[in-house]
């Protein structure tokens, strides 16, 4: 076989299916790993199998962590009454990189879609509503992507929330059709600071 052996081919094929890679990058990654100091690839393999064992969704907010309840949910300094709703864990991590938000999160894991048969229950919306009382939430920030699906989901949640809560959305800076994870940290921070009533 021209490109390594069967295992090497299988590794390249597996990496090529990952987001942001593809066959060409996968080949480069594998060749570079094989060419490096012995031990580096084994270390990577060990880390991957450890993370595969320990990584899980926080049962409260949906953030990926190594504990049943993540560090954000258990941090008493973050009991600010502000709850930021995001589509994906990558969005939560993008907001955290901006360091502007000191409240807590709720990760939906997607958006409502009749086409793909994704219901409010699938997105943990009842679980979100159930957090409001016990966690003394006063403001819900709907930090969903500026896509049709994101905004449809935001409106659905806004309608389902009890009266008396402040409901806000991200302000300017999020381009139409924009996905939060692709914004730079400064833009996402500015959009959060200048949030408007929903």
What is the binding site for Zn ion (CB under 5 A)?
58, 60-61, 63, 70, 73
**Nearer to Zn ion among residue 17 and residue 102 (C-beta):** 102
Structure tokens at 41: 């690839």
Eight-class DSSP state of 194: T
**Nearer to Zn ion among residue 38 and residue 133 (C-beta):** 133
Smallest gap, in angstroms, from Cβ of residue 70 to Zn ion? 3
**Nearer to Zn ion among residue 84 and residue 190 (C-beta):** 84
Q: Do residues 12 and 26 touch, judged by C-beta distance below 8 A?
A: yes
Smallest gap, in angstroms, from Cβ of residue 62 to Zn ion? 7
Q: Quote the CA–CA distance of 78 and 134 in Å, as a whole number.
A: 14
Smallest gap, in angstroms, from Cβ of residue 69 to Zn ion? 6
Q: Quote the CA–CA distance of 176 and 144 in Å, as a whole number.
A: 11
**Nearer to Zn ion among residue 27 and residue 60 (C-beta):** 60
Smallest gap, in angstroms, from Cβ of residue 186 to Zn ion? 25
Q: Quote the CA–CA distance of 36 and 40 in Å, as a whole number.
A: 7
Structure tokens at 19: 């987001």
């Amino acid at each position: 076989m021209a490109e390594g052996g069967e295992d090497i081919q299988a590794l390249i094929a597996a990496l090529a299916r990952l987001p942001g890679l593809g066959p060409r990058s996968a080949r480069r990654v594998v060749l570079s790993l094989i060419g490096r100091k012995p031990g580096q690839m084994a270390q990577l393999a060990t880390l991957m199998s450890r993370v595969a064992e320990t990584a899980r969704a926080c049962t409260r907010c949906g953030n990926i962590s190594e504990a049943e309840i993540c560090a954000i949910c258990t941090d008493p300094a973050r009991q600010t009454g502000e709850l930021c709703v995001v589509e994906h864990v990558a969005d939560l991590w993008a907001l955290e990189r901006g360091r502007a938000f000191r409240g807590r999160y709720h990760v939906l894991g997607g958006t409502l879609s009749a086409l793909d048969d994704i219901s409010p229950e699938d997105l943990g919306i009842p679980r979100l509503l159930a957090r409001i009382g016990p966690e003394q939430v006063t403001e819900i920030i709907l930090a969903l992507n500026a896509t049709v699906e994101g905004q449809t989901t935001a409106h659905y949640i806004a309608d389902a929330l009890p009266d008396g809560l402040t409901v806000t959305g991200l302000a300017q800076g999020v381009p139409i059709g924009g996905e939060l994870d692709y914004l730079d940290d400064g833009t996402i921070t500015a959009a959060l600071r200048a949030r408007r009533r929903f």
